[in-house]
Every structure is written in structure tokens, then in C-alpha cells.
Amino acid sequence: MAEPAADTQTVECPSCPSGRMEEGTTTLTFPETLADEESRGRQGPIVVVTAIPAELCDTCGEAVIDSETVDHINELVKDARYLWHRFPDRLQAEGVTVGGEPGEEGGVIRVDYDRTELPVGRANVG
């Protein structure tokens, strides 16, 4: 087994008594409910991030993700939502699949963790 990431020195599963952690990938889903007065109750886009590097339990499937990866996931989700709402034409990038129309209720943005670099730092868009 390869060396685990620095802040996930887990060998035994934290969730089940017999599992062992192995390197792999996982998928996370981030729903969005819009909260501003104008949009109250409408469903924003669901962001699905795929191919996330993680340690996975070989018994129960529990995923452990290191803090640096979590930070990157959070940036991808924020950037994808920002582009969806403000600059939908810039949401096209390698590793991004969009279902639905930006600005309309609902929709899905699929972002591949390994292949996607969204054209954001919000300061660079405008």
C-alpha cells in the first residue's frame, strides 16, 4: 500500500472494526438552495465533484479526504456556482459537464477533480 497523505495517517477504518484504508477516489455532491429574497426556495445547481483522491475503507466504503483536497474541492464548488450564476459562458472547461440552463432553477454541474481548472479567481472574471 502506498504512503497515506500526511494528515490522514489512517490504516484502520475509523467507522468499522474490520476495515482497512486503501487509496482510491470518491464522489461528493453539493446541493444549493438559494436564500436571497428574490430567489427564496428555488433550487440552485447541484455540483457533483468526481474522481476525488481519498482513502477508502475496503469493507464499508468510508472515505477519508485530506484537508488540502477538501480546500481544493471547496474552491471548485464555489467557482462553479459563481460562474453558473454570473458568467455561464465561462463554465465550459475541460472536465466540466453542465446539465440544465444557467440562471434557471436547478441543473447539475459535474466537475472532475483531476482535470478541471475553472477560469476563476473571482477577481479575474469581469
Mean pLDDT of 94-104: 77
What amino acid occupies position 62? Answer: E
Asked whether the predicted pLDDT for residue 8 surpasses 60, the reply is: no
* Position with higher pLDDT, 74 vs 3: 74
Nine-digit cell at 44? 440552485
Give tens-digit pLDDT for 35-84.
665 655 667 789 999 999 999 999 999 999 999 999 999 999 999 988 88
How far apart, in whole angstroms, are the C-alpha atoms of residue 120 and residue 40?
Answer: 26
Report pTM: 0.77
Mean pLDDT of 99-115: 81
Q: What residues contact 84, with CB distance under 8 A and at least 6 apart?
A: 44, 45, 91, 98, 102, 107, 109
